Amino acid sequence: MMNYLDKILKVKREEIELLPMHSNVNRFFPKKSLFNCLRSNKPSIIAEIKFKSPSEGWIFKEGDPLKIAKDYESAGADAISVLTDNEFFAGDLEFIEKIKSVVNIPILQKDFFLSERQVLQGFNKGADSFLLIIDAVSEENAKKLIQFAEQIKTEVLAEFHSFDHIEFINELNPKIIGVNCRDLKSMKTDLSYFERVYDNLPKDSVKVAESGFTTSEQIKKIYDLGFDAFLIGTSLMRTGNPGRKLEEIVRRLN
């Protein structure tokens, strides 16, 4: 029986086959550094636009991505994560281009990246960085995608879920590392995972804690461990007013 990740990757490979084999850098948007925005003396927030998920179904069906993006920036987000997978997350690549025109903070494209063609497509649309799920690619392909990102001068948030990848993460020593406490097979979250894994992370990387956060108290606790930034999506979107919820969290962090 296929788990969520297997199903998503199967569809993603089919989508990649439809992308042009050869393309050029054709970007008209200024680049903003995610790395620089997350280096701070306070908890940095990457606020995510996610309308749907495989495990929960619709989270916020009638949401306007442009309004949410502007509200996130006004509420104090340091960056915005945009889901671009359509079939499983109701995302759209066009969201990036539209959002890029209305905000002044970095945009992180979140998808299931397997090919350089996907990276270039998002970069040309205005993504400032992309999230690479280490659990979803081979080590060889991960290195290849990171090398390609360096060539086109974009940034990578290298994310891992399973502790099985910790040795490879240390080998990569990425500038930005994402630790996701969500089990990709069951889609359940476990915030205690951050404490168990922290001492094994590369020392100089900007460290992003992902998934499962609903309160400022949870964020403060993990920030005190040594994490620099937090990617929050579902708990914001579920309220129906993501910007207001983020504003409440940011206010309580200060």
Establish whether 50 is a catalytic residue.
Answer: yes
Amino acid at the residue 170: N
Of 48, 73, 116, 155, the catalytic one is: 48
Of 180, 205, 207, 245, the catalytic one is: 180
Establish whether 248 is a catalytic residue.
Answer: no
Token digits of residue 53: 């998920």
Residue 238's CB: how many other CB atoms inside 10 A?
A: 14
Amino acid at the residue 53: S
Establish whether 221 is a catalytic residue.
Answer: no
Of 12, 32, 50, 207, the catalytic one is: 50
Of 44, 100, 159, 175, the catalytic one is: 159
Of 110, 125, 207, 245, the catalytic one is: 110
Q: Check: CB of residue 42 under 8 Å from CB of residue 216.
A: no
Establish whether 192 is a catalytic residue.
Answer: no
- Tell me the C-alpha to C-alpha distance, in Å, between residue 169 and each of 60, 121, 136, 159: 33, 25, 14, 9
Of 100, 175, 210, 245, the catalytic one is: 210
Q: How far apart are CA 93 and CA 122, in angstroms?
A: 7
Q: Show the DSSP H helices in the chain as ranges.
A: 4-16, 34-38, 65-75, 93-100, 116-125, 139-151, 166-172, 192-197, 216-225, 234-237, 242-253
Of 81, 115, 211, 235, the catalytic one is: 211
Establish whether 48 is a catalytic residue.
Answer: yes
- DSSP 8-state code for residue 230: E
Q: Which residues are catalytic?
A: 48, 50, 110, 159, 180, 210-211
